[in-house]
Amino acid sequence: MRKTNYIETIKTLFKPDIISMLTRIHEYKGEQMLFIEAKKDVLKQLVEVAKIQSTEASNKIEGIYTSDQRLKKIVMDKTNPRNRSEQEIAGYRDVLSTIHENFDYIPLKPGTILQLHRDLYRYSGSSIGGNYKNSDNVIAEEDAEGNRFVRFQPIPAWETSESIDTICNAYNEASKNPEVDPLLLIPVFILDFLCIHPFNDGNGRMSRLLTLLLLYRSGYIVGKYISIEKIIEQSKETYYEALQSSSANWHEGENDYTPFVRYMLGVIIAAHKDFTSRVEVLTTKNLSKPERIRELIKNNLGRITKTEIMEQFPDISQTTVQRALADLLSKGEIIKLSGGRYTAYMWNRENEE
């Protein structure tokens, strides 16, 4: 079995760009805490939006879907799941809520991980929930031609329990060291968790839930207001590339954690930037509803759909959103992309001086 010493591993990660990223996140954290204290009522809106986006995105990465309407009802606990996909979505909703509301009381222990995994499959009736894998598994990919190949061979089933014990103990020991930054420790632990691949199913979703849990317990709660899972889903090709790079030679204990750590720090920075821009829009009381929509699109670097705009502003009617979009299009301030159900909009940066 490979040796695990997170304190020594962290020492290999002190590179100029990573230190710079850590400094930025520490600064963002301070600004965020000031926002949270001053604007608690306003931020409730962000929490509800993030729950929907996180539940959708984390399941979407694994190919688990339902309609937008059904998703919202399930996340709001206003309907019962109808099929296997919706059962798993409901399970993710419950575990996410548990972490949001009780993270201070959920220590990182093997038993905790098993309980969270059990709850992930609460509605499916499956016996895999809360149990480690009972057979060896592989992490496979499919190329453009449809050929499947093994990307990574996790540890055998019989080593799973001991391996999870080892990384939990290593994490808890390292977290006591004041010189160990949790922003480095967390992605190192998550990478090991994914390489162990302890469950027959649900490893990816559990890794993202554990990421949130450990960030919250370390004082980084931006994921409560901005969906970290959605940022990962939107950059999943880069996510998988980072995983592949950092898992190479893992069994020999010679892997380089840097690519995955760098990727996860980038995700956290993106979440903080998004938090700042959204709070600024929400707290600008002098803006009209159309102006708030305009600012949201302008501050969003990527594409945004009408549904996403309405999620951000539940107090603005669909008719008002449609009128605002039509007005912005007529002025050439935004660009309309594709059409039909998947129509999206982007700020027209070519017109900016």
Q: What is the pLDDT of residue 34?
A: 79
Number of Cβ atoms within 10 Å of the Cβ of 166: 18
Q: What is the pLDDT of residue 243?
A: 95
Q: Give percent of the chain above pLDDT 90.
A: 67
Residue 291, token pair as written in the block: 């102006």
* 117 exposure class (CB count in 10 Å sphere: 0-12, 13-18, 19+): buried
pLDDT for residue 285 is more than 60: no
Three-state DSSP string of the chain? CCCCCHHHHHHCCCCHHHHHHHHHHHHHHHHHHHHHHHCHHHHHHHHHHHHHHHHHHHHHHCCCCCCHHHHHHHHCCCCCCCCHHHHHHHHHHHHHHHHHHHHHHCCCCHHHHHHHHHHHCCCCCCCCCCCCCCCCCCEEEECCCCCEEEEECCCCHHHHHHHHHHHHHHHHHHHCCCCCCHHHHHHHHHHHHHHHCCCCCCHHHHHHHHHHHHHHHCCCCHHHCCCHHHHHHHCHHHHHHHHHHHHCCCCCCCCCCHHHHHHHHHHHHHHHHHHHHHHHHHCCCCCCHHHHHHHHHHCCCCCEEHHHHHHHCCCCCHHHHHHHHHHHHHCCCEEEECCHHHCEEEECHHHCC
Ordered by where they begin, the domains of the chain are 6-280 (1.10.3290.10), 288-351 (1.10.10.10)
Q: What is the pLDDT of residue 1?
A: 67
pLDDT for residue 349 is more than 90: no
Burial 251-276 (b: 16+ CB within 10 A, else e): eeeebebbbbbbbbbebbbbbbbbbb
Number of Cβ atoms within 10 Å of the Cβ of 238: 14
For the segment 213-271, what is each residue's pLDDT rounded down to a tens digit? 999 999 999 999 999 999 999 999 999 999 999 999 999 999 999 999 999 999 999 99
Provide the phi-psi class of 301: left if phi over 0, else alpha when psi is between -120 and 50, else beta: alpha
For the segment 263-277, what is each residue's pLDDT rounded down to a tens digit? 999 999 999 998 888
pLDDT for residue 134 is more than 90: yes
Contact 113, 210 (CB under 8 A): yes
Higher-scoring residue by pLDDT: 313, 54: 54
For the segment 157-199, what is each residue's pLDDT rounded down to a tens digit? 999 999 999 999 999 999 999 999 999 999 999 999 999 999 9
In whole angstroms, what separates CA 51 from the centre of its chain?
A: 11
Q: pLDDT grade, residue 340 (50/70/90)?
A: low
